[in-house]
Amino acid sequence: GQGVEQPDNLMSVEGTFARVNCTYSTSGFNGLSWYQQREGHAPVFLSYVVLDGLKDSGHFSTFLSRSNGYSYLLLTELQIKDSASYLCAVRTPNYNVLYFGSGTKLTVEP
Q: Which parts of this chain interact with another protein (CB under 8 A)?
A: 30-31, 33, 41-45, 48, 87, 89, 91, 94-103
Q: How far is the CB of 106 from another protein (least distance, A)?
A: 16
Q: Terminus-to-terminus CA distance in the chain, angstroms?
A: 40
Q: By C-beta, is 69 or 101 nearer to another protein?
A: 101
Q: How far is the CB of 95 from another protein (least distance, A)?
A: 5
Q: By C-beta, is 13 or 97 nearer to another protein?
A: 97
3-class state of residue 82 by DSSP = helix
Q: How far is the CB of 88 from another protein (least distance, A)?
A: 10
Q: By C-beta, is 75 or 88 nearer to another protein?
A: 88
One-letter identity of residue 15: G
Q: How many CB atoms lie within 10 A of CB 42?
A: 7
Q: By C-beta, is 98 or 108 nearer to another protein?
A: 98
What's the rounded Cα separation, in Å, for the pair 11 and 60? Answer: 17
What's the rounded Cα separation, in Å, for the pair 46 and 25? Answer: 22
